[in-house]
Amino acid sequence: MPLLRTCILLSSLVFFNIQRGNYCRGETQAASSSFAQTKGNHFVMNGRSFYLNGFNAYWMMYMASDPSTRAKVTSAFKQASKYGMNIARTWAFSDGGSYRPLQSSPGSYNEDMFKGLDFVISEARNYGVHVILSLVNNFNDYGGKKQYVQWAKERGQAINNEDDFYNNTVVKGYYKDHVKTVLTRINSITGVAYRDDSTIFAWELMNEPRCQLDPSGTLLQQWVKEMAAHVKSIDSNHLLEIGLEGFYGGTTPEKKQFNPSNLEYGSDFIANNLIPQIDFASIHIYAEQWLPGASEEAQADFVDKWVGVHIEDCNSVVRKPLIMGEFGKSYKLPGYTIEKRNAYFEKLYDVVYRSASSNGACTGALFWQLLAQGMDNFKDGYDVVLEESPSTASVIAQQSHKLIELIRQDSNVTKST
Higher pLDDT, 139 or 31: 139
Active site residue 111: no
- Dist. CA 369–CA 384, nearest whole Å: 6
Per-residue pLDDT tens digits for 82-97: 999 999 999 999 999 8
186: DSSP letter: B
Residue pLDDT, tens place only, 174-201: 999 999 999 999 999 999 999 999 999 9
pLDDT of residue 412: 63
* Cβ atoms 336, 19 nearer than 8 A: no
How far apart are the C-alpha atoms of 224 and 253, rounded to whole Å? 20
Q: Read off the pLDDT of residues 17-34 as tens digits, 9 standing for 90 and up.
A: 333 233 333 222 334 458
pLDDT-based confidence at residue 3 (cuts at 50, 70, 90)? very low
pLDDT at 26: 27
The DSSP annotation for 127-167 comes to TT-EEEEE--BSSSTTSHHHHHHHHHHHTT-----GGGGGT
Q: Is the pLDDT at 98 greater than 80, yes or no? A: no
**What distance in Å separates the CA atoms of residue 230 and residue 411, rounded to the nearest whole number?**
35
Report the pLDDT value the prediction gives residue 33, as an integer from 0 to 100. 53
Residue 409: predicted pLDDT: 86
Is the confidence at residue 15, as pLDDT, over 90?
A: no
Average pLDDT, the chain: 91
Confidence of residue 273 (pLDDT cuts 50, 70, 90): very high
Q: Residue 97's pLDDT is what? A: 83
- The larger pLDDT score, comparing residue 73 to residue 16, is at 73
Residue of 162, 204, 288, 326 with catalytic role: 326
Q: What is the pLDDT of residue 408?
A: 87
Q: What is the pLDDT of residue 2?
A: 55
162 within 8 A of 146, measured Cβ to Cβ: yes
What does the pLDDT read at residue 109?
Answer: 98
Quick check: is 208 catalytic?
yes
Catalytic entry in 208, 241, 245, 264: 208
Tell whether the model's pLDDT for residue 6 goes beyond 50: no
Pair 153, 86: CB distance under 8 Å: no
- How far apart CA 81 and CA 16 sit, in angstroms, is 12
Please give the pLDDT value at position 232. Answer: 98
For residues 193-216, give the mean pLDDT: 98
Inter-CA distances, 384 with 124, 299, 402, Å: 19, 21, 21
Vertex 224: Cα angle to 310 and 143 (nearest 5):
100
pLDDT of residue 18: 34
Q: What is the pLDDT of residues 46-80, one digit of tens each?
A: 889 999 999 999 999 999 999 999 999 999 999 99
With 0-12 / 13-18 / 19 or more C-beta atoms within 10 angstroms meaning exposed / middle / buried, residue 134 is buried
pLDDT digits 0-9 by tens, 351-404: 999 999 999 999 999 999 999 999 999 999 999 999 999 999 999 999 999 999
**d(C-alpha 173, C-alpha 311), whole Å:** 35
Distance CA 276, CA 319 (A): 11
The model carries a pTM of 0.93
Q: Is the pLDDT of residue 329 over 50?
A: yes
Spatial contact of 232 and 278, defined as CB atoms under 8 Å apart: no
> What confidence score (pLDDT) does residue 291 get?
96
Q: Is the peptide bond before 409 cis (omega within 30 degrees of 0)?
A: no
How far from 92 is each of 60, 134, 396, CA to CA, in Å? 9, 5, 26
106-113: average pLDDT: 98
Cα–Cα distance for residue pair 28/170, rounded to 1 Å: 48
